[in-house]
């Protein structure tokens, strides 16, 4: 009769699971290892590496290899082809430039999109008429003619927006030749906003439209010589928020057109290499449009914002 050493049997079964466990760990480790091959390779390009702060010292390579969200290597076509597997996507740049993604650290795409020609074609009321003169008097006279021409083109109640240059001559005309009362005479049935770098003048319809939309009276601090003159030292937020909130957001159909234009301008930025932009959203429409696109995963480029003013034109800002 064969005798079995129980202590040795117990020891064998105790140690065996450890061997199996270690084998499993090593096996899993092998499967989790990084592949030596690239997922995507771009060849026959001019890869601008941005490897120096001196533009004259930046090296230009032929090809680049990418794995996940990391650049594996840059080099010659021959060097990078060594990283190609059967499943690697190979893109032929055909001599075109390849650059790192650009980050625009400050812009106003939500606002500047309203000035692109195809957006104005969709929402004609966004048009800004730009005038230049050789004297304050000439600017004021030309302004009167431009407003008269514009009101003949648009229906009652539509906005007239005009930008004057140079700024020093325009500001001299504000509060004297160009006032709330003069704009009321030129366009008694339309809101009118005239601006330059350094100030703006609004007529009665414009002031009422802004105060109605935002639900508060424009504070005295906005006016250079009182609201009866209509001359304000503010010109950026008025311009932005009139375009986006009062014009772009006047109804659901128009707001959809504004969102479409905003989206397309971001797409245009993506096509020239911008991957991320940072902005502040000072108008309700800009915030709402950005949130809508983000919620629906439609942002063509990443966005970060610093501050947002949901209720502009009040004395708490």
pLDDT of 231 over the 70 cut = yes
Q: Which residue, chain included where needed, has tokens 């771009």?
A: 42
The verdict on whether omega for the bond into residue 261 sits within 30 degrees of 0, i.e. cis, is no
Q: What is the DSSP string of 164-226?
A: EESHHHHHHHBTTTB-HHHHHHH-TTS-EEEEETTEEEE-HHHHHHHHHHHTSPPPGGGBSS-
The residue-averaged pLDDT of 30-53 equals 86
Q: Are strands 97-98 and 46-48 parallel, antiparallel or unpaired?
A: parallel
In angstroms, the CA 220 to CA 225 distance is: 9
The residue-averaged pLDDT of 163-188 equals 98
Selected residue with higher pLDDT from 17 and 53:
53
pLDDT band at 315 (very low <50, low <70, confident <90, very high): low
State the average pLDDT for the chain.
Answer: 88
pLDDT of 189 over the 90 cut = yes
Three-class SS of residue 256?
A: helix
Burial (CB < 10 A; 0-12, 13-18, 19+), residue 138, is: middle
Selected residue with higher pLDDT from 15 and 36:
36
pLDDT of 232 over the 50 cut = yes
Distance of CA 112 to the CA centre of its chain: 9
Selected residue with higher pLDDT from 281 and 82:
82
Quickly name the fold that domain 40-100 has: Urease, subunit C; domain 1 (2.30.40)
In angstroms, the CA 90 to CA 38 distance is: 9
* Segment 168-178, tens digit of pLDDT: 999 999 999 99
Range name among 42-46, 101-105, 193-197, 244-248 with the lowest pLDDT average:
101-105
In angstroms and rounded to an integer, the radius of gyration of the C-alpha atoms of the chain is: 32
This prediction's pTM? 0.75
pLDDT of 93 over the 90 cut = yes
In angstroms, the CA 193 to CA 150 distance is: 13
pLDDT band at 106 (very low <50, low <70, confident <90, very high): confident
Sketch the domain layout of the chain as residue ranges: 40-100, 124-247
pLDDT > 90 in the chain, percent: 71
- pLDDT of 237: 84
* Segment 201-220, tens digit of pLDDT: 999 999 999 999 999 899 99
Look up residue 157 and give its DSSP letter: T
pLDDT of 107 over the 60 cut = yes
pLDDT of 150 over the 90 cut = yes
Range name among 29-33, 56-60, 228-232, 245-249 with the lowest pLDDT average:
29-33
Beta bridge partners of 160: 192
Cα 221–Cα 222–Cα 225 angle in degrees, nearest 5: 85
- pLDDT of 255: 97
Residues 156 and 123: beta-carbon distance below 8 Å? no
* Segment 30-40, tens digit of pLDDT: 445 678 999 99
């Amino acid at each position: 009769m064969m005798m079995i050493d129980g202590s040795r049997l117990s020891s064998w079964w105790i140690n065996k699971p450890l061997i199996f466990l270690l084998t499993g760990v090593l096996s899993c480790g092998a499967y989790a290892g990084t592949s030596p091959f690239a997922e995507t390779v771009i060849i026959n390009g001019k890869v601008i590496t941005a490897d120096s702060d001196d533009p004259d010292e930046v090296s230009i390579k032929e090809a680049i290899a990418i794995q996940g969200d990391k650049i594996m290597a840059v080099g010659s076509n021959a060097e990078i082809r060594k990283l190609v597997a059967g499943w690697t996507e190979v893109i032929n740049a055909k001599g075109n430039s390849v650059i790192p993604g650009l980050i625009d650290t400050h812009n106003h795409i939500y606002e500047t999109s309203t000035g692109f020609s195809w957006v104005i074609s969709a929402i004609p009321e966004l048009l800004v008429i730009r005038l230049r003169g050789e004297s304050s008097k000439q600017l004021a006279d030309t302004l009167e003619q431009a407003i008269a021409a514009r009101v003949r083109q648009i229906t009652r109640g539509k906005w007239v927006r005009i930008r004057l240059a140079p700024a020093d001559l325009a500001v001299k005309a504000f509060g004297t030749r160009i006032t709330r009362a003069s704009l009321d005479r030129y366009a008694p049935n339309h809101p009118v906003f005239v601006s330059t770098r350094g100030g703006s003048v609004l007529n009665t319809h414009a002031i009422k439209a802004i105060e109605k939309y935002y639900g508060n009276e424009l504070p005295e601090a906005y006016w250079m010589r009182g609201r009866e003159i209509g001359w304000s030292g503010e010109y950026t937020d008025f311009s932005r928020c009139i375009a986006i909130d009062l014009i772009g957001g006047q109804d659901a159909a128009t707001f959809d057109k504004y969102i479409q234009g905003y989206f397309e301008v971001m797409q245009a930025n993506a096509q020239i290499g911008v991957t991320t932009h940072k902005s502040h959203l000072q108008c309700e429409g800009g915030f709402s449009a950005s949130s809508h696109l983000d919620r629906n995963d439609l942002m063509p480029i990443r966005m970060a914002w610093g501050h947002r003013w949901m209720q502009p034109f009040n004395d708490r800002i």
